[in-house]
Amino acid sequence: MRIIALFISISFMILFAVHDTIGTPRPSSSHDSAPILVCGAGHGGLLAAARLAAAGHHVILFEKKEESRLGWDWHDNFLARSFHDAGLKDPEWNDFIRVNDFTFISPDGNYRITTEIPLQNREIAMDRKTLIGMLVRHARESGVDIRWKSEVSGPVIEDGIVTGVIVNGIKQYGSLVIDSAGIDSPVRRGLPPSYEITREIGRGERINVYRAYYSLNKAVPYDEREYRVYLGINGMRGIAWVRTIDGACDVLIGSIDPLDTATMETIMGKIRTENRQVDDTLIRGGSFASIPLRRPLDLFVGHNYAAIGDAAAMTVPVIGSGIENSFKAAVFLSETVLSLGKPGSGSGIAYHRQDLWDYQYRFYRDRGARLCGLDRVKYFLLTAPWDDLNDLFRKGLLQASDLEKPLLGESIEISTGSMILRFFKGWYRPDLLLPMKSMLDDSREIMECALAIPPRWDEKKITRWRKELNHPFTTYSTALKGKTP
């Protein structure tokens, strides 16, 4: 009897041990039982997960943080229409505020350009925790199985194909891995070379950011409607902003070079000199983070794999906004997956890259191409000499309408008439106007090239398209390398 009891307990121990190292068991013959695995509770991941679960898919979402620590402690700006476009209910009116017009300040601090965006078109600012909380509720109500404190360390690769992810050291198998784990996603970084997906997002392609809310010193005069955006403040290649929100001073400092505490404090000192209302007491935030500042990856789908949001570099390259694009990508991705139906039984590939390609195609056609064009503008701004940028402000060669467009997610296009007028204004600086004109021409050409994305998977055509799209950027990034910190 004792021997039988011992045998039973050993069998149970073995069973538990096997379950522990395997997590979601590997389905033997059918993909039907294999869940869709979403890595990271970012905006795109949560929305894609919700849409797929609502349509009857078994979706598991792994998030490394605990629920109460999700989302950053600050407000995000994005277009109000994002909710409607993503099929989400509009937020309550008291959940957001309208963003004020921006006042851009030249690198020498002497010139200003203020946008004039009609109120109804302006972005809204919403507390990140409120927004993420809404998305988590929506995902849960749609049937997503959310697992907190579940850190993904990389993909599971079998026979060169992604078949799952490793979560807290345990293999979890799935039919599709949706990578929403942000700019430095370990899933994307762990993909095999055969996937040909960019693994690292390096200098010039990311902006390192410090964001904090400080107490507001009401004793000094300040304009609470002013939203100041500094270009190249203190010689830093990047931007900084200061605004008043929720009775506090919201400060953002973003640099393409590494941003350490000492540099941040130097810039804070400069900001405080010019904005005496920014007091010393830290109220919220006070964190460092990185945002992709580049065109979307030229390939973000592979067999059983699709990246979304920052993991696929879907932010606007000149300003780093990514929420609206991530929402839209979630719509395209979920529609693509749903159009394929549930995978049947068979080989290790449940979702072929040629089928997932439609997701990338639609994203590029809808907005990715515009983001590619804006990446050219970014390189221009990062490599132009400071004096040139000052002159663009000083002589009115750069106008409010040019700066409004990327804020609204649009490409910068300048009519011939307006360009001629600018030539007259800047006649004494042809060395500045010509590069500006050629930057705008390049930007348009890049956008056209990106729009020519092959509609269907054709290895040769796609390889050629990627090569043509990336080609001009090698020159720009070499120019940026010359601009050392």
The interaxial angle of helices 43-54 and 128-142, nearest 10 deg, is 20
Q: How far is the CB of 402 from ligand FAD (least distance, A)?
A: 20
63 near ligand FAD, rule: CB under 6 A: yes
Contacts (CB under 6 A) with ligand FAD, residues 434-473: none
Query: x/- string (CB under 6 A) for ligand FAD, residues 249-288?
Result: ----------------------------------------
For the bound state, the minimum distance from the C-beta of residue 364 to ligand FAD, rounded and expressed in Å, comes to 17
The one-letter amino acid code at 196 reads E
The binder of ligand FAD chosen from 186, 232, 368, 373 (CB under 6 A): 186
Q: How many CB atoms lie within 10 A of CB 355?
A: 18
**Integer Cα distance of 346 and 358 in angstroms:** 22
The DSSP code sequence of 422-476 is: HHHHTTT-HHHHHHHHHHHHHHHHHHHHHHT--SS--HHHHHHHHHHHHHHHHHH
Query: Residue 364 has what DSSP assignment?
Result: I
321 or 383: whose CB is closer to ligand FAD? 321
What is the number of residues in the chain?
485
> Under the criterion CB under 6 A, does residue 326 sit at the interface with ligand FAD?
yes
Closest to ligand FAD by CB, 123 vs 442, is: 123
Give, as ranges, the residues between 76 and 135 that touch ligand FAD (CB under 6 A). 76-78
Q: How far is the CB of 152 from ligand FAD (least distance, A)?
A: 4
Helix (H, G, I), strand (E, B) or coil at 210: strand
Stretch that binds ligand FAD, among 196-204, 259-267, 322-330, 476-484 (CB under 6 A): 322-330
Sorted by sequence, the CB contacts under 8 Å of residue 29 that are 6+ apart come out as 345
Nearer to ligand FAD, 231 or 312 (CB): 312
Specify the stretch interacting with ligand FAD by CB under 6 A; choose among 10-18, 73-81, 170-178, 409-417. Answer: 73-81
Cβ 185 to ligand FAD, closest distance in Å? 6
For the bound state, the minimum distance from the C-beta of residue 298 to ligand FAD, rounded and expressed in Å, comes to: 18
Q: What are the structure tokens assigned to 213, written together?
A: 């809310």
Q: Determine which residue in the list 23, 174, 322, 406 makes contact with ligand FAD, applying CB under 6 A.
A: 322
Q: Specify whether the backbone of 54 is left (phi greater than 0), alpha (psi in -120 to 50) or beta.
A: alpha
Cβ atoms 470, 303 nearer than 8 A: no
What letter represents residue 200's amino acid? E
Residue type, 119: L
Q: Per CB under 6 A, which region of 62-70, 341-349, 353-361, 401-409 contacts ligand FAD?
A: 62-70
Question: Which of 31, 51, 57, 64 touches ligand FAD by CB under 6 A?
Answer: 64
Handedness of CA 419, 377, 450, 406 (dihedral sign): negative
Q: How many residues at the interface with ligand FAD, by CB under 6 A?
A: 34
Estimate to the nearest angstrom the gap between the alpha carbon of 347 and the chain centroid. Answer: 33
Contact between 425 and 395 under an 8 Å Cβ cutoff? The reply is: yes
Q: Does position 320 bind ligand FAD by CB under 6 A?
A: yes
Based on the shown chain and the rule CB under 6 A, indicate whether residue 367 belongs to the binding site for ligand FAD.
no
User: Under rule CB under 6 A, which residues in 125-184 are in contact with ligand FAD?
Assistant: 151-152, 180-182
Give residue 169's identity as a one-letter amino acid code.
Answer: G
Which residue of 37, 59, 201, 209 would you call a contact of ligand FAD, by CB under 6 A? 209
The sign of the torsion formed by the CA atoms of 312, 317, 319, 323 equals negative
Nearest-approach distance from CB 8 to ligand FAD, in angstroms: 37
Site string for ligand FAD, 23-52 (x = CB under 6 A): ----------------xxxxxxx-------
How far lies 321's CA from each of 76, 159, 204, 402, 432, in Å? 8, 37, 16, 17, 28
Rg (C-alpha) for the chain, rounded Å, is: 24
Is residue 6 within a helix (H) or strand (E), and if so which, with residue range? helix 2-22
Of these, 48, 50, 323, 447, which contacts ligand FAD (CB under 6 A)? 323
Q: Is 205 in the site for ligand FAD (CB under 6 A)?
A: no
**Residue (304 or 383) nearer to ligand FAD, CB:** 304
C-alpha atoms less than 13 angstroms from C-alpha of 456 in its C-beta half-sphere: 0
CA distance 304 to 178: 8
| Binding to ligand FAD, residues 289-318 (CB under 6 A) | 289, 291, 309-311, 315
> Whose Cβ is closer to ligand FAD: residue 76's or residue 355's?
76
**Contacting residues toward ligand FAD, per CB under 6 A:** 39-45, 62-65, 70, 76-78, 151-152, 180-182, 186, 209, 211, 289, 291, 309-311, 315, 320-323, 326
